[in-house]
Structure 1
């Protein structure tokens, strides 16, 4: 199972780590943490050194009830930072966390290598065609509604069945347009209650039916810190536990704030297998 990132084939049969770089002032865990260029470069260096294959950069906070920002503001946050990082780390594989087709287009043209879309092309009807034209890997995530409304949309008759059906439809649309490298993300925390998130993790291996790489984004989320009655800042141990379970159930990519711990979990699971 490989994906092509700017001519470099990445083999996902061994799980990989995607390090998170938030350029938002209001992200739930690290919002506003990186205030200048040297802090950003230092964080990217640490993530690469600790084993990240991908760096996922986001400039639009998708936490529940996040503030909506304009496309222009999103691009103003992203483009200079992509250029800065590529100048320092020319071999880096940058993923862009966006649901907007114009942001996808301009960031890939600036040097990013893949698109990570929380809406799987639903929030911007031009997204799938744009990604097809760009010929880059595409991460489709499951969500209902928008970041502003998703927490009111947690009703499911059969959650797993509905999510798998959602993916089969979105993947079919993407393939029809010529998108070749597709990764699915079941969307922990997006239009799902804490109990539903654990149910999703419990049944994660069911996604193997889609025969696509699976990304798990559990890092420091409320399903951990609410269950443990703690905070995102104190949720690293819980994150590692749940990432380990996700790996055992078939995750190909762990999207995390803490790369070293995720890399160690992968090494230990590989040794076990």
Structure 2
């Protein structure tokens, strides 16, 4: 049985699908998570029960500060809920071998701990914490901001038990983009020769971090000969072999965007990730 999440577009245009393998890395590291702090929650007007406000569990509606160390520097990410990542109509659809829909359930926003925000200089971080609980406008750039940040938290962890949080994402700091992946996703998406300066099969730690500046520059050959998407080389793309999607209506096929990977095996379409793409 296939499990996919499909989002139908009201209108879409065709495009040539191309992809290239990740460039080899000159260096990577394992970040040290120093703290994942939940900012004080606001009590809704007229609310008498405050127990949930004091809960230590991270929620998709929380604002947080994530502090991590990597490459000899400490980074402080001030994050708020990312409400534009998931389309309101996103759903999980289970397909049978013949392509028929077995079941379909909505993908709830509360199930994905997605956050966005800014990297803030250490000297301004404490001051920023005092501003955010009083609803400082997030849209404006304030003093001390070094760049943007986008993070998805898979597991909050437990400091008392020594369990670090698990998260993925990217952030921009002082002219460089930092990428954070779980070890499993890094191994899944990078070839064994993508990091020739260490034993690829013996990566330790839950998280892997690398920067754009750590990537080898593309060769002249790779720049002049773009590769086709590997999906185009699958057997059923080259023959008339029936597939689970063979019976999908042509109109549905034309309106379905390519899929992309998001936290812990959930599969979303690009429309789910960027709702503005779904506008008519």
Q: Same fold (TM over 0.5)?
A: no
TM-score for the superposition, normalised by structure 2: 0.25
Greater RCO, CA 8 A, separation 6+: 2
TM-score for the superposition, normalised by structure 1: 0.25
Larger Rg: 2
Higher helix share: 1
